[in-house]
């Protein structure tokens, strides 16, 4: 295991990790947006992915997250990346090299990351339409993990629709 992998696995935030059921901090798509947001987040189910360009597992899962973002384009769910690199050029280079178009918030001061408190990179958070944390996925999401995430998102969207029609 090289130093970069160790950093990915041990990049714990000093802040306390947000707990399932808690209201999550909002993700501001205006301040440091690296890629344009196609939708206003509003009352959507959201998968928030914390990543960094130096983290190999983060880079490995980005194409799967981008594909999920495309799949969800006509639904009540959205995928948003939050990148903690200090230089926006690093973020842009990764997105360009991989040909990604998923919305990414650049968080160079790690403000969002410190509010969410991931235990390691990458970490993804499933947030319900009500703003409550539903689930945390620590580590790289592979194809099997992404199938679980898809099912969880579908259930969260269905639960939100059921509440909206009552």
**Per-residue pLDDT tens over the stretch 7-26:** 333 333 344 578 888 888 76
pLDDT at 165 over 50: no
Of 27 and 107, the one with more pLDDT: 107
pLDDT, position 6: 32
Rounded Cα distance between 101 and 79, Å, is 11
| 105: its two tokens | 């918030």
Classify each residue of 30-62 as buried b or exposed e, where b means 16 or more C-beta atoms within 10 Å of its C-beta.
eebebbebeeebeebbbbbbbbbbbbebbbebb
Helix (H) or strand (E) holding 156: helix 143-165
Taking residues 73-77, what's their average pLDDT? 90
Average pLDDT score, the chain: 81
pLDDT, position 47: 95
pLDDT at 113 over 50: yes
Taking residues 141-155, what's their average pLDDT? 96
pLDDT, position 41: 56
Q: Set out the domains of the chain in order of their start, with CATH numbers.
A: 23-165 (3.40.30.10)
| 157: its two tokens | 């969207």
């Amino acid at each position: 295991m090289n130093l970069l992998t160790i950093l990915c696995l041990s990049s714990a935030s000093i802040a306390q990790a947000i707990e399932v059921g808690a209201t999550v901090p909002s993700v501001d798509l205006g301040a440091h947006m690296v890629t344009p947001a196609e939708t206003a987040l509003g009352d959507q189910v959201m998968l928030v992915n914390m990543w960094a360009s130096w983290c190999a597992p983060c880079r490995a899962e980005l194409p799967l997250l981008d594909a999920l973002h495309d799949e969800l384009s006509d639904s009540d769910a959205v995928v948003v990346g939050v990148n903690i690199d200090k230089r926006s050029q690093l973020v842009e280079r990764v997105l360009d090299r991989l040909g990604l178009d998923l919305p990414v918030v650049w968080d160079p001061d790690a403000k969002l990351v410190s509010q969410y408190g991931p235990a390691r990179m990458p970490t993804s958070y499933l947030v319900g339409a009500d703003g409550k944390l539903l689930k945390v996925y620590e580590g790289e999401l592979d194809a099997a993990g992404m199938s679980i995430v898809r099912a969880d998102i579908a259930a969260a969207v269905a639960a939100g629709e059921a509440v909206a029609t009552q």
